[in-house]
Amino acid sequence: MARVVSFLIYFTLIIVFSHCTSNKTKSPKDKYNNGVIHISADESFKPIIDLQVKSYEAKYPNTKLIVEYKPEADCIRDMAADSTRMIIITRKYSKDEERFMLDSLHVVPVQMILAYDAIAVIVSTESADSLFTLNDIKDILKGKFKKSLTPVFDGLNATSTIRFIIDSVLRGDTLTSKARAAKNSEEVIDYVAKNSNTVGFIGISWVGNKEDQQQRSFLTKVRLAKIESIDLPEKYIQPVQANIYEGRYPMTRELVCILKENHKEGLGHGFKNFMSGELGQLIFRRAYLVPGQMQFIVRSATL
């Protein structure tokens, strides 16, 4: 009897060991065409990321991409969370952030420039000012413009728009204390529409696509201001694709995908590959951003 019991215990241990081993080596639960992942994305890009997600889930009905739109700094903090597989922001990760993901999270991060974007300047339809030099913009931001114009942002802390303004436009100068903070880009549009003495700063993906019904409705409430071209003095331009691509518009930035996923067949890799592939890049182009992974051709138009 003891020999039988010993055999049963031995046999049970073999089964348990085999089960544990198989659990350690089996493939991840999600794949590019099946599963659920969480993504944190910069709120500035909600319209275009919503389009990408809708297209991906239509192509792969068994997938679910749960996107939370947040200020950029909150997205970066989410890199430390196990639940967040991907973040979409306007900068690449730093050396310290890469080291953290390697050493603490034990993942090899992947990053890619998906597209190029611009900070759009919007004014009320009743505003007398819609042409600005970059120095005008700096003066508005510092509260020193010849007219009393209040800058309005999608928050005053932790957003990618504010970081860009402080790092790339003000370059060490102080943002005026009169600057106003809205909760998000849509509220910036609404606030500027109701106040003719304000100037709003938002991502172009909110007002750049004139074929989008919602964005057309936004442009009935506000005007897209023109900024003096970098290489064409006294020529005022809007952040359309050609001007972003050619580097003429003075406030452009990158849209970067950062992925924390070691398994190359995972849903995160699938979505990254989709956005950087032909269809995803065409979606960026159709939304009037400049694709980051596809050749962009500028043709002269004759009237």
For residues 141 and 215, state if they share a domain: yes
Task: Please tell me whether residues 161 and 275 are part of one structural domain.
Answer: no
Comparing 15-19, 94-98, 191-195, the range with the smallest average pLDDT is 15-19
210 & 189 share domain: yes
Tell me: pLDDT of 220 over 50.
Answer: yes
Q: Are residues 204 and 247 in the same domain?
A: yes
Strand runs (DSSP E) across the chain, as ranges?
A: 35-42, 63-70, 84-89, 110-124, 131-132, 150-153, 180-181, 198-203, 222-224, 226-228, 236-237, 252-259, 290-291
**What band does 297 get if pLDDT is binned at 50, 70 and 90?**
low
Residue 25 is predicted with a pLDDT of 34
Question: Is position 24 within any domain?
Answer: no
Residue 9 forms part of a structural domain:
no
Does residue 228 form part of some domain? yes
Q: Assess whether 177 and 50 both reside in one domain.
A: no
pLDDT band for 295, please (50, 70, 90 cuts). confident
Domain harbouring 64, CATH code? 3.40.190.10
Identify the pLDDT of residue 299.
62
Q: Quote the number of domains for the chain.
A: 2
pLDDT at 253: 96
> What is the span of the domain harbouring residue 74?
35-116+254-291
260 found inside a domain: yes
82 and 199 co-located in one domain = no
Per the model's pLDDT, the better-predicted residue between 21 and 214 turns out to be 214
Does the pLDDT at position 138 exceed 70?
yes
Is residue 40 domain-shared with residue 142, that is, in the same domain? no
User: Half-sphere exposure (CA, 13 Å, Cβ side) for 225?
Assistant: 28
Selected residue with higher pLDDT from 37 and 20: 37
Average pLDDT over residues 22-42: 77
Burial class for 298, CB neighbours closer than 10 Å (0-12, 13-18, 19+): exposed
If asked whether residues 243 and 261 sit together in one domain, one would say: no
Same domain for 187 and 86, yes or no, is no
| pTM summary value | 0.85
Render pLDDT for 225-272 as a digit per residue (tens, 0 to 9). 999 999 888 899 999 999 999 999 999 999 999 999 998 999 999 999
* Interior/surface letters 49-80, b for 16+ CB within 10 angstroms, e for the rest: bebbbebbeeebeebebebebbbbbbbbebbe
Please, what is the average pLDDT of the chain? 88
Q: What is the pLDDT of residues 146-203, one digit of tens each?
A: 999 999 999 888 899 999 999 999 998 999 999 999 999 999 999 999 999 999 999 9
The reply to whether 131 falls in a domain is yes
How many whole angstroms separate alpha carbon 277 and alpha carbon 287?
A: 15
> What b/e readout covers 164-188, taking b as 16+ CB neighbours within 10 angstroms?
bbeeebeeeeebbeebeebebbbbb
Ranges 181-185, 208-212, 293-297: which has the least confidence: 293-297
Q: Say if 222 falls within a structural domain.
A: yes
- Note whether 125 and 163 are same-domain residues: yes
pLDDT at 303: 40
Q: Tell me how far apart the alpha carbons of residues 156 and 276 are, in angstroms, rounded to a whole number.
A: 31
What percent of the chain shows pLDDT beyond 90? Answer: 78
Q: What is the pLDDT of residue 300?
A: 57
Is the pLDDT assigned to residue 24 strictly greater than 60? no
Residue 153, domain member (yes or no):
yes
Domain membership of residue 271 (yes or no) is: yes
User: What pLDDT is recorded for position 82?
Assistant: 82
Report the C-alpha gap between 160 and 102 in whole angstroms. 25
Is residue 79 over pLDDT 80? Answer: yes
- 99 residue type, one letter: R
Residues 218 and 169 in one domain: yes
- Is residue 153 located within the same domain as residue 235? yes
- pLDDT of amino acid 23: 38
